[in-house]
């Protein structure tokens, strides 16, 4: 699982290189495990997203994405909110210039 998460993290970083991405602003996540960093990067692409959307972006199970997103929210890096029955997460850190 660790090598899969590292591959996802590297793929997302490569995708972000083509955008106006400020890697210095990612410091707020650097003390987190790789799977949390990868989840935070995936959330950056979406801005707001469900566990299903994050799981699809990362290529992981929805249950794992939900757990990682909840950890991001608990650690203050994302906000969890509802729209009807859907639970969404919004990034609380800005990584774009």
Is residue 32 within 8 Å of 40, Cβ to Cβ? yes
pLDDT digits (tens, 9 = 90+) for 52-84: 999 999 999 999 999 999 999 998 889 999 999
> pLDDT at residue 96 above 60?
no
- pTM, whole model, 2 decimals? 0.78
| Residue scoring higher pLDDT (97 or 66) | 66
pLDDT at position 49 = 93
pLDDT digits (tens, 9 = 90+) for 19-36: 666 666 666 777 788 888
**SS3 state at 60:** coil
| Residue scoring higher pLDDT (87 or 26) | 87
Is residue 61 within 8 Å of 32, Cβ to Cβ? no
Domains of the chain: 2-91 (1.10.10.10)
């Amino acid at each position: 699982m660790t090598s899969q998460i590292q591959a996802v993290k590297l793929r997302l970083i490569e995708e972000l290189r083509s955008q106006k991405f400020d890697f210095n602003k990612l410091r707020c996540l650097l003390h987190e495990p790789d799977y949390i960093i990868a989840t935070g990067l995936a959330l950056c692409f979406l801005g707001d997203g469900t566990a299903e959307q994050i799981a699809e972006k990362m290529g992981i199970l929805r249950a794992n994405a939900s757990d990682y997103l909840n950890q991001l929210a608990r650690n203050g890096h994302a906000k969890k909110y509802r729209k009807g029955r859907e639970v969404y997460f919004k990034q609380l850190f800005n990584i774009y210039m």
